[in-house]
A and B are shown apart, each in its own frame.
Chain A
């Protein structure tokens, strides 16, 4: 496809909805390889926005906006604005994810995750692409939840992130600067849901304090309101049913 069409034509095909499913898969791969393609798509989408502003559209009643936003309140947890910083400030997060991008692709991609990559060859090419772009591609997929973690006073330098495949109920986690523990201790991850903590497994950092691991997620990830609070605690290796140790990292 790429050999037959210029990239700007491909971008236009994507924006106006010309692409078949197979072409869209290849376009997604090309977007990973060509950051300029993403910029061209943005320009074309902005052009469409300019055009739509001039078409004789009807304005919905102003009250409908409030109704829609109130409806959104009812079907999901209220997420304070401060908890989700603009994307520009998220760059460091993608960088952190990028460190484990190959792992994420293998875990999420191979396990029937909806990356929509047509075949193994494409997947191999994706793995060869820039890891940050690859992580970005993963984050764009449907049924994906993404969390940032920050260390508490117990682990001030710790940062991390977690991607949850809510269809497959699997998560890939990445942390750095978590201190090694004694042999009778472990880090445990807990999801907060309706006032209770649900255990989601435990993990140990490597020698350099980094963690790349996959964990099974509880079924609450397929329920509403969406899970938004996740914590990491230090526990004894015979994990208690509810967290008892200090919280070392939590979602922000």
Chain B
């Protein structure tokens, strides 16, 4: 998930796994932080903005999330993948910020909004022409996922909901939430096997 931002001395690292980059991060290598930022800054920024609805605050939280990853080693790889850690921690931190302002209106506007999102709100933007065939294949793979699986992946990765929150918001049993997310990811991986190898 590379951004459009400039790359600086990071070409050797771009194909490294998240695990390898986190390990390198722990050894103080800032190039690893740059690559992880390029991979996940859009995810963090988007989830934060949906809750905070405020550009400067979103930038501040995004910076905070990545500097904590760097300085405080907040991520424990034995617990979950980095993408899920970042999506849930970003949403939780954004909610904390809203709550700290004691602004009920913003809470209702920012936090409650995802509860009301119907299945139909899953939508893909225009295809990224520069990515061409690969982009189109991924989009098709997403669109051919069973809707009940796609919806839950959407809530998890687009909104940063935890599995328990998804269960609470959708009234789907937690075990079913987990199995649908698992099946959805495995189906995607199967469809996109050659791209993921």
Closest to A17 in B: B84
Q: CB of A55 within 8 A of chain B?
A: yes
List residues of chain A with CB within 8 A of the CB of B34: 65, 69
The answer to whether A58 and B156 touch (CB under 8 A), given A16-B181, A43-B196, A44-B189, is no
Q: CB of A219 within 8 A of chain B?
A: no
Chain B proximity mask over A46-66: 1 for CB below 8 Å, otherwise 0? 111111111111111110110
The answer to whether A68 and B37 touch (CB under 8 A), given A51-B153, A52-B83, A53-B138, is yes
List residues of chain B with CB within 8 A of the CB of A48: 81, 83, 157, 185
Q: Which of A135-143, A168-176, A230-238, A240-248 lies at the interface with chain B?
A: A135-143
Closest to A75 in B: B71
**A145, B43: Cα distance in complex, Å:** 28
Chain A proximity mask over B71-83: 1 for CB below 8 Å, otherwise 0? 1010111111111
Quick check: A86 and B13 within 8 Å, CB to CB? yes
The answer to whether A50 and B196 touch (CB under 8 A), given A42-B17, A69-B37, is yes
Quick check: A81 and B163 within 8 Å, CB to CB? no
Quick check: B135 and A53 within 8 Å, CB to CB? yes
Q: CB of A146 within 8 A of chain B?
A: yes
Q: Which of B3, B18, B24, B182 contacts A65 (CB 8 A)?
A: B3
Closest to B150 in A: A51
Q: CB of A45 within 8 A of chain B?
A: yes
CB distance from B121 to the nearest CB of A (A): 11
Chain A proximity mask over B22-33: 1 for CB below 8 Å, otherwise 0? 111011111101
List residues of chain B with CB within 8 A of the CB of A19: 79-80
CB distance from B67 to the nearest CB of A (A): 5
**A79, B43: Cα distance in complex, Å:** 27
Quick check: B181 and A60 within 8 Å, CB to CB? no
Closest to B65 in A: A68
**A15, B86: Cα distance in complex, Å:** 12
**A143, B29: Cα distance in complex, Å:** 15
The answer to whether A16 and B37 touch (CB under 8 A), given A60-B59, A81-B31, is no
Q: CB of A194 within 8 A of chain B?
A: no
Quick check: B41 and A13 within 8 Å, CB to CB? no
Residues of B3-21 contacting chain A, CB below 8 A: 3-6, 9, 12-13, 16-20
Closest to B140 in A: A54
List residues of chain A with CB within 8 A of the CB of B182: 9, 12-13, 16, 18
**A143, B142: Cα distance in complex, Å:** 38
Q: Which of B18, B27, B79, B128 contacts A145 (CB 8 A)?
A: B27
Q: CB of B42 within 8 A of chain A?
A: yes
**A12, B193: Cα distance in complex, Å:** 14
List residues of chain B with CB within 8 A of the CB of A125: none
Q: Which of B13, B16, B138 contacts A50 (CB 8 A)?
A: B138
CB distance from B174 to the nearest CB of A (A): 10
Additional A-B contacts beyond A41-B81, A61-B59 (9; CB < 8 A): A9-B182, A12-B186, A17-B163, A24-B79, A49-B1, A54-B124, A69-B34, A84-B28, A145-B26
Binding site for B on A (CB under 8 A): 8-9, 12-19, 21, 24-25, 27-28, 38, 41-62, 64-65, 67-69, 71-73, 75-79, 81, 84, 86-87, 116, 139-146, 224, 226, 228
A-B contact pairs, 29 of them (CB 8 A): A12-B186, A15-B84, A16-B81, A17-B162, A19-B80, A25-B78, A44-B189, A47-B185, A47-B192, A48-B157, A48-B185, A51-B153, A53-B1, A55-B157, A57-B43, A58-B42, A58-B46, A59-B3, A60-B42, A62-B3, A65-B5, A75-B67, A84-B24, A84-B27, A116-B78, A140-B23, A140-B77, A142-B75, A145-B27
